[in-house]
Amino acid sequence: MKVSYTSSSLVTPAKTTWNGRMPLADWDQIGYISHVPTIHIYKPPYNYDPQQDKPFVDNLRDSLSRLLVHFYPLAGRLRWIEGGRLELDCNSMGVQFIVAGTKTKLDDLGEFLTSPEIQSLAPHIDYEITPLKEHPLMYVQITQFQCGSISISPAISHVVVDGRTASYFLSEWSRLARGLSLEFPPFLDKRVLRAGEQLIRPPPPDFLPFLIPPLLIGKNSDKEEREKETIVSMLKLSKNQVEILKNKANETRQDKYSRPYSRYETITGHIWRCASEARDHKLEQPTGLGISVDIRRRMQPPIPQNFLGNSTIDVVASACSGDLISRPIGYSASRVREAIDKVTNEFVHTTIDFWKNQEDLTPFQDIHSSTSDEGPFYGNPNLGVTSWLTLPFQGLDFGWGEEVYMGPVTHDVDGDFILFNDNHNGDGSVIVRACLQVPHMKAFRKLFYALIMV
């Protein structure tokens, strides 16, 4: 699909905002140095008249400018400081607002939404040519289809927000675009995560906040696996299928807790089992599962839900493929839960202490960079499962009603899975966006449904 760019401009706060340097929490320092885009596609309402109504794109630009008065840090820029660390320069330079068009009609897309071509609807951001300090923290691309439909693709820096913060920001933007007032002003005080704190308490000598994912048995590098061709599939689990999996997991539970397994724990355990078998692992093959844990309610006192920043910690669950394949789903779900449950208030503060004790964070930023070939690889024999099940990314109304499609735009990396609700059918089903190496996807799809009934 060919996309032509019409205009590109900076949207700045509608009013004067505070300017100055804002410290970043240690969490922000070691997150992925990248922008994470989503795509939201809308059809114009039946009574929409561009001659009578304020043009949709103009309204998006105007409401974004007004929103940045409250979310002014997102109009700033990142800058490097001593020790390989970053700080936020709140300078009101603005958000990049891109308008594009295509002669494609929405109904012509077909399977396009699961192909790499979907990248053309998202902002293209070149990290190699443009210095970090010159990158806006947010890009937005508005693409107008020939049929009148429009896609909105916001991409916000992962250094300054996580998924929950990004969805909160987009929800507030949609309110202002509909003529409503701000519902929840952002909480901007990063001291809740000890940002700027000088006191350094040494963590336990053997403490390490992350695990390096294992390699395939017999390999001393993941280079070959990184270079293999991948394919994306969208797999749907009905509400009934999710309930069957949850019941099986709880009937065969392998942990000491009495609370039932969540949708995430159950579906993720199921994915882990299927991927291990589809990849035809040796029974003794170690495999890691990357999990991003929201710490807002796990800290004491809890972090406000409207906090503007990163409030997640990445942990890795581990197991042998043979155990995942041969044991019931209750075992794989228990491994997921065990990794999540270790993220306590004490664990979070010990992790912060660990990062504060690092004189130079540059090596850690290199291995966490999304553009680095040396970072942790969650492809074969590993995987990572991100949950959007509780994030309000879907159902955003910017004045044209709810979107007809919402989905992620991520690098097509082996082992990358995203869970999100199939809100459009309203039947409680879940969509699994799966990315695996081409030879493994057919077997995975077959096992994904067949093992539900076993």
Whether the Cβ atoms of residue 275 and residue 321 lie closer than 8 Å to each other: no
Q: Residue 435 corresponds to which tokens in the numbers above?
A: 């990315």
Cis peptide before 301 (omega within 30 of 0): yes
- From the list 397, 412, 422, 424, the catalytic residue is 397
Backbone angles phi, psi at 23, to 5 degrees: -70, 150
CA neighbor of 405 nearest in space, from 161, 9, 121: 121
Round to whole Å and give the CA distance between 172 and 440: 41
- From the list 35, 158, 368, 440, the catalytic residue is 158
Q: Residue 106 corresponds to which tokens in the numbers above?
A: 């929405």
Round to whole Å and give the CA distance between 279 and 230: 13
Q: What is the DSSP string of 324-355?
A: HHHS-HHHHHHHHHHHHHT--HHHHHHHHHHH
Tracing tokens 């561009």 back to the chain, one arrives at 50
Round to whole Å and give the CA distance between 325 and 274: 8
397 is catalytic: yes
Element (H, E) at 63: helix 56-67
206 is catalytic: no
Q: Is 320 exposed, middle or buried (0-12, 13-18, 19+ CB in 10 A)?
A: middle
Task: Give first-to-last CA distance, the chain, whole Å.
Answer: 42
Q: How many C-beta atoms lie closer than 10 Å to residue 14's C-beta?
A: 14
CA neighbor of 387 nearest in space, from 252, 276, 263: 263
Please name the residues in contact with 232: beta carbons below 8 A apart, sequence gap of 6 or more: 114, 115, 116, 412, 433, 434, 435
Query: Sign of the CA dihedral 63, 66, 71, 76?
Result: positive
For the chain, what percentages of helix, strand and coil (3-state, to nearest 5) are there? 30, 25, 45
Please name the residues in contact with 149: beta carbons below 8 A apart, sequence gap of 6 or more: 41, 42, 43, 44, 105, 106, 404
Query: H-type helices in 178-313, by residue range?
Result: 223-226, 239-251, 263-278
Q: Which residues are catalytic?
A: 158, 397
